[in-house]
Amino acid sequence: MNVAEKIIRKHLAGGEFEKGSEIALKIDQTLTQDATGTMAYLQFEAMGVPKVKTELSVSYIDHNTLQSGFENADDHKFLQTAAEKYGVIFSPAGNGICHQVHLERFGVPGKTLIGSDSHTPTGGGLGMLAFGAGGLDVACAMAGQPFYITMPKIVKVNLKGKLRDWVSAKDIILELLRIETVRGGRGKIYEFAGEGVKTLSVPERATITNMGTELGATTSIFPSDEITKDFLKRQGRAKAWSEIIPDADAKYDEEMVIDLNTLEPLIACPHMPDRVVKVKEIKDVKVDQVGIGSCTNSSLADMLLVAEALKGKKINKDVSLAVSPGSRQVLAMLSQNGALFNIIESGARILESACGPCIGMGQAPKSGAVSLRTFNRNFEGRSGTKDAQVYLCSPEVAVASALTGKITDPMKYFGRKPKITMPDVFLADDAQFQQPASDGSKVEAVKGPNIVSLKEFTFDLKNNATVTLKVGDNISTDHILPAGAKILPFRSNLPKISEFTFEAVDPAFAARASNTSNGIIVGGENYGQGSSREHAALAPRFLNIKIVLAKSFARIHLANLINFGIIPLTFDNPGDYEFIKEGDNLTFENAAEILSRGKEFLIETPYGNQIKANYGLTQRQKDILLAGGLLNWIKSVQNEKK
């Protein structure tokens, strides 16, 4: 077997080990972050389970750290007290970005991990089988429920050779995105193998698995080998290591080759992570802003390279350079060895160890700016400035461009790449993590006035609905429900945050949808790509959206739609997309009858034609929809067992 199959086999809790069938996986670890965690713990609370049933669950504060009002601070207090009550480790603001910190202090090769953040596959760099998921799925895992996925294809990515100077792991994943596109990874796990794997450190591997999310992949994974062992040993966690490598005769569903010897510095152009070209092909593009950090490129190795490249130099006068170390550990070690001085002296701005600009939480570029970021997404408007031109690149390209003031190939700008020596022992101050109470029943989860109790939905769709919005391909969760400093504080207030639904696409959507009893959203290919934010399903459901009819869906968003009782339909004939207009009233047989009896979903349009829609759902998923959502379904199952 290959690495992914070995871990899946060990954790299989239901279903058949067959490609394309639904399987249930036992989950060992979970993580949440504060933009999605408040809702996840409200959902966990609603299940009535007194304590988490996983081996390890961690609640991180790393997204909503800009405290411009009481809302974020109230959420942090709720998360702190909920963690104490329910048996969860709490990582406070300033401790670092969940994926970077989890890699350093908690990740274990061979374990399963789900997180309420789409970049949870970062753990694959350590040999974990790690998935991004909606908050409700994470709450279910904490309650001891299995995690359901469609058994994916396993793609072997054979890495040949070794990277040249000033070419990095970021260029490997950008090359994969160039080849596969943001839709190419749906229904797949990318497993990295070949001689090139041995040349990549765990942080480099984690950069690749982190951004594998942008492929639409189920997850990505590296073997756990001697390099993994060395990383864990330096973190003081050698006992967590075990070897997990593919069998000599391991088989894969697909294979592809990336020759590291020939890779050059790459860059993703606005406004999609797969619009990848060689840096040298971009001529004379002036840069206004550079951001180095995020969960993709904020490791100690990344920061030490940046510090060395900036040593004795000043950034261009027209460039704002912001640097965010990924964890308290990274920031402390930069300070300890003097590298932080080089970064500060260059003129860079040091941000706290948090997600920050990646999710539009500060550092929005000026109007029409060109912003180079070592982040993982460059969707239009995600930076906080709608007309900003955001490029994705490696720290090597970012630092060279910050120095010159224009997009620059580091191979042309610098000489030999400096050798970065990693410390034998990393600083490991676990005192910052707050442990849960021994008796959680005595702890009250504190809820501020912005935290609104969950709304219970029911399945009330009958035989007609109105097209409330029609959108095109690659609609992301940022399009559906944006992040940013203005909106994120309302993640625990569903009525308020719903007002921002599709704000960047159609500001009138929320008002129009709330005045429609049964709404349909019509979309193109890859609807719902991007983050795991379940609010992108929850808010539309609050606004009476009952169906999303699209050409295809991104994995996590599809699950979130089902979890909150929205029927996900796909066009049997994609050409029928053209026959539907916003405002159309569509009719069909009784929806509950269609789902419960497995009938064809035939939709009558106002133009006299009939459209066939598919709903390739399992019986479990149909039952969830008919119950009005996953939380209702779990309660009904629990009641049946009593």
Q: Which residues are catalytic?
A: 62-63, 117, 377, 531, 533
Residues whose CB is less than 8 angstroms from the CB of residue 567 and which lie 6 or more positions away in sequence, other chains included: 461, 546, 547, 548, 561, 591, 595, 615, 625
Element (H, E) at 406: none
Tokens at residue 81, please? 């007290």
Residues whose CB is less than 8 angstroms from the CB of residue 138 and which lie 6 or more positions away in sequence, other chains included: 30, 31, 32, 36, 40, 114, 115, 116
Cis peptide before 11 (omega within 30 of 0): no
CB 553 within 8 A of CB 430: no
Which residues are 569's β-sheet partners?
549
Tokens at residue 52, please? 């988490």
User: What is the 3-class SS of 283-307, one letter each residue?
Assistant: CCCECCEEEECCCCCCCHHHHHHHH
CB 433 within 8 A of CB 90: yes
Closest CA to 518 of 395, 603, 453: 603
Query: What are the helix (H) ranges across 186-299?
Result: 202-211, 226-234
Interatomic CA distance for residues 18 and 70, integer angstroms: 49
Q: What are phi and psi of 216, to 5 degrees?
A: 80, 15
Q: Please, what sign has the CA dihedral across residues 373, 376, 379, 381?
A: negative
Residues whose CB is less than 8 angstroms from the CB of residue 524 and which lie 6 or more positions away in sequence, other chains included: 471, 472, 473, 474, 475, 550, 551, 577
Total Cβ atoms within 10 A of residue 164: 16
